[in-house]
Amino acid sequence: MKLNDYLNAKGIFFIALFTVLTYVGMGINFSKLVGAENQFFTLFQFFGPIAGSFLGPIAGAVTVLFAQVINFVLTGKQVELINLLRLTPMIFAAIYFGMKKDQLKASAVIPILAMAAFVLHPVGQQVWFFSLYWAIPVLARIFLSNNLFVKSLGATFTAHAVGGAIWIWTIPMTAEAWIALIPVVFVERIAFAFGISASYIAMNLVLNAFESKIPGKLVSLDKNYSWKNVVSVKAQ
């Protein structure tokens, strides 16, 4: 797809809505990042990857980066390495979420590279089993690639893989601290996967409702999540 394919009213509407949601979501903290001062997971984790599904993996990733940069500038964040690197996990999550079944191999590359980067670190070698979480995106693609929740789980663990690989090389943490994170990660990522699934359904409902009113076409709208189908299911 060319850039002009997204420069229509519906594409611009989605990008604007997504950017506003990103600004609001990144201002609402969900949980603290262990090992860093004043760093948090935010509500952005609950919907960040869905841009990849509506605009395609590349355009979706660019939109995620654009929305995060806007937030970065408006909130006056310091231009530090760790803050810049924190922009990347959700970009790869959007790519993962937007990839189709026939792009299985490409979607597995990032989690596998992240696992390798993690275990190459001296501390990572002690807690190599922590990186097994990042096999989830690979397994999700192989066995249940069309299941929304499983795809959401794969996307959030792709973000976690990229973030974890960056974190171990930039933030000093002991092996014990990484081990203590294992149950925390499980709870957080399940919550994020539910959030991504719900956000995807909600965005489809919104865009499907406005489809006839806004000219242009997005790459992909899921007609299974339209108000017409919701009403028909309730009627049954």
Residue 233: pLDDT band with limits 50, 70, 90: very low
Longest CA–CA separation in the chain, Å: 59
CATH number, domain containing residue 75? 1.10.1760.20
- Measured distance CA(192)–CA(58) in Å, rounded: 22
First to last CA, the chain: 39
Question: What pTM does this model have?
Answer: 0.86
Note down the domain range covering 183.
Answer: 3-235
CB-based contacts of 128: which residues, under 8 Å, 6+ apart? 118, 119
User: Count of domains in the chain?
Assistant: 1
pLDDT (tens digit, 9 = 90+) per residue, 119-129? 999 999 999 99
pLDDT at position 106: 74
Compute how many other C-beta atoms are within 10 angstroms of the C-beta atom of residue 79. 7
- Measured distance CA(140)–CA(224) in Å, rounded: 21
CB 71 within 8 A of CB 48: no
